[in-house]
């Protein structure tokens, strides 16, 4: 059996909008999701897991099950209802109470400043396509650094790539724009610029603690060894991985990355230019970022594709209903020999190992890494308070073994946060896609530990992967 370092952090991950509920309580401002979900009429994030009121229960469970750390986010519109201007003191006080309870229970908060929830006032004004909103984000981040001195670990953003692609490529998030590669690349760049500016403010202000960014990174492999498939995988990788890591650790985009990204843009009859002055802040931040958070759930196999873009999103867990074909990039193919969950996500822990050793080789100034999200979305079977989720344990075991092997290969991985601590609202998937160590009865808000919670506790206590 493989092991983990004795000081390896074992955490649980959440996000404000997915867990808190209380979407309109105590002065919280609207986010785009509030009105969009109501218009869709399927479900809302109210009350989600009711973390707004249940946080003492969840943090006690952390202590009981040896979960060292809680990854959580601050809801921007709970602090600034309109994204800027007047502060909502009730929101500020709420997070102070959460951090006080963290301290009481011996749980370390890892806090994300932005997790898919731009205030609606700013979202409706272009979100991160509008560079004025970068200024509002930076000011909000500085407020958090000044106000929440209890926090030692900060992440600027959660998953910049899915923000850009779900909003402007696949259209599964509001504002439901599809296949606009110019908007995708513009959003990616502006958010990386915003990240850099927040990092620099944190460092120049000599705030206590550490700061990083959380990227969704899913390895891309060619479906075959045909030249066209190898090139398609390289393009998919350039947009979804290299573009982000170049910005994070080089402060600008390599010639190789930009050649591939420009090829994608040209195939879609567009182009993007960046202000050279942006790279001043980005290059400065590249040497000051303390850690990289990696969200990793799956890997992809890509083949050549030269037709118009087409997307099939599996949001219901009906296996075999997803497809992904992007003009200028390629088509992601489901391999029959790779197991998948009900949402067609490939279960391939070897991909996490490959990703970790690649980062060490390609970006030697990465500092240190936390796996900030990883887990299995599953239709859990609730049987009289007992939830036997062996497939989740098997998924975790494979990924922990990959992390252990990467550590042996010299990658500095400091901790792991399972997605998710408890079952939460899952964006476009609603509530039937459960990830938590703790089953939530969304009617009563009662928590029930799953079999995986006991497995996770053993690994945390013993640092042995069973």
Phi and psi angles of residue 117, each rounded to the nearest 5 degrees, phi first: -135, 55
Pick from 328, 331, 332, 192: nearest CA to 270: 328
CA–CA distance, 337 with 282 (Å, rounded to integer): 41
In sequence order, which ranges of 273-349 are alpha helices (DSSP H)? 278-286
Residue 400 sits at the vertex; the CA angle it makes with 110 and 319, to the nearest 5 degrees, is: 95
Helix (H, G, I), strand (E, B) or coil at 214: strand
| Sequence-separated (6 or more) residues with CB below 8 Å from residue 455 | 393, 396, 466
Say how far apart CA 433 and CA 376 lie, in whole Å. Answer: 9
Sign of CA dihedral 177, 182, 184, 188: negative
Beta bridge partners of 293: 214, 370
* Residue 394 buriedness (CB in 10 A; 0-12 / 13-18 / 19+): middle
CA atoms within 13 A on the CB side of 181: 23
Beta bridge partners of 331: 303, 325
Burial 239-255 (b: 16+ CB within 10 A, else e): bbbbbbbbbbbbbbbee
Query: Which listed residue (20, 159, 218, 331) is catalytic?
Result: 159
Distances in Å between the alpha carbon of 298 and those of 99, 196, 345, 374, 420?
32, 27, 6, 9, 16
Distance CA 4, CA 402 (A): 11
Residue 259 in 3-state DSSP? Answer: helix
Of 299, 429, 449, 462, nearest to 382 by C-alpha is 449
- C-alpha count within 13 angstroms, C-beta hemisphere, residue 436: 29
Question: Is-catalytic flag, 373?
Answer: yes
Q: Residue 397: which residues within 8 A CB-CB, separation 6 or more?
A: 465, 466
Distance from C-alpha of 466 to C-alpha of 463, rounded to nearest angstrom:
9
* Phi, psi of 419, rounded to the nearest 5 degrees: -95, 110
Q: Which of 373, 390, 443, 461 is catalytic?
A: 373
**DSSP assignment of 225-237:** SSHHHHHHHHHHH
Q: Which residues are catalytic?
A: 159, 373
């Amino acid at each position: 059996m493989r092991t983990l370092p004795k000081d390896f952090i074992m955490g649980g991950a959440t996000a404000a909008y997915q867990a808190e509920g209380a979407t309109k309580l105590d002065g919280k401002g609207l986010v785009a999701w509030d009105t969009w979900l109501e218009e869709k009429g399927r479900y809302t994030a109210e009350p989600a897991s009711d973390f707004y009121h249940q946080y003492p229960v969840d943090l006690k469970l952390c202590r009981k099950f040896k979960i060292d750390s809680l990854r959580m986010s601050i809801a921007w519109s709970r602090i600034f209802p309109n994204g800027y201007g007047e502060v909502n003191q009730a929101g500020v006080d709420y997070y102070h109470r959460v951090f006080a309870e963290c301290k009481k229970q011996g749980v370390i908060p890892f806090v994300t400043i932005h997790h898919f929830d731009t205030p609606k006032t700013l979202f409706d004004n272009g979100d991160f396509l509008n560079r004025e909103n970068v200024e509002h984000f930076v000011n909000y981040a500085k407020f958090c650094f000044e106000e929440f001195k209890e926090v030692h670990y900060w992440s600027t953003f959660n998953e910049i790539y899915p923000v850009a692609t779900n909003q402007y490529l696949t259209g599964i998030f509001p504002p439901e724009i599809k296949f606009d590669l110019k908007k995708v690349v513009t959003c990616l760049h502006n958010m990386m610029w915003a990240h850099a500016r927040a990092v620099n403010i944190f460092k120049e202000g000599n705030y206590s603690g550490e700061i990083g960014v959380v990227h969704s990174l899913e390895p891309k492999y060619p479906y075959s060894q045909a030249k066209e498939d190898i090139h398609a995988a390289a393009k998919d990788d350039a947009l979804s991985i290299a573009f982000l890591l170049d910005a994070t650790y080089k402060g600008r985009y390599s010639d190789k990355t930009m050649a591939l990204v420009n090829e994608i843009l040209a195939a879609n009859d567009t182009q993007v230019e960046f202000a050279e002055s942006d790279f001043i802040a980005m290059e400065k931040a590249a040497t000051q970022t303390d850690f990289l958070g990696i969200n990793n759930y799956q890997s992809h196999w890509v083949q050549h594709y030269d037709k118009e873009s087409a997307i099939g999103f599996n949001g219901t867990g009906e296996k075999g209903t997803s497809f992904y074909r992007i003009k200028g990039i390629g088509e992601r193919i489901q391999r029959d020999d790779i197991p998948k969950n009900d949402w067609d996500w490939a279960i391939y822990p070897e991909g996490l190992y490959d990703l970790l050793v690649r980062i060490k080789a390609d970006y030697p100034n990465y500092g240190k890494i936390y796996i900030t999200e990883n887990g299995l979305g599953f239709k859990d079977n609730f049987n009289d308070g007992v939830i036997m989720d062996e497939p989740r344990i098997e998924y975790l075991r494979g990924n922990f073994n990959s992390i252990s092997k990467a550590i042996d290969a010299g990658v500095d991985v400091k901790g792991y946060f399972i997605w998710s601590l408890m079952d939460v609202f899952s964006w476009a998937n609603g509530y039937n896609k459960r990830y938590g160590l703790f089953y939530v009865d969304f009617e009563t808000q009662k928590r029930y530990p799953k079999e995986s919670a006991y497995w996770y506790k053993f690994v945390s206590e013993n640092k042995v992967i069973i």
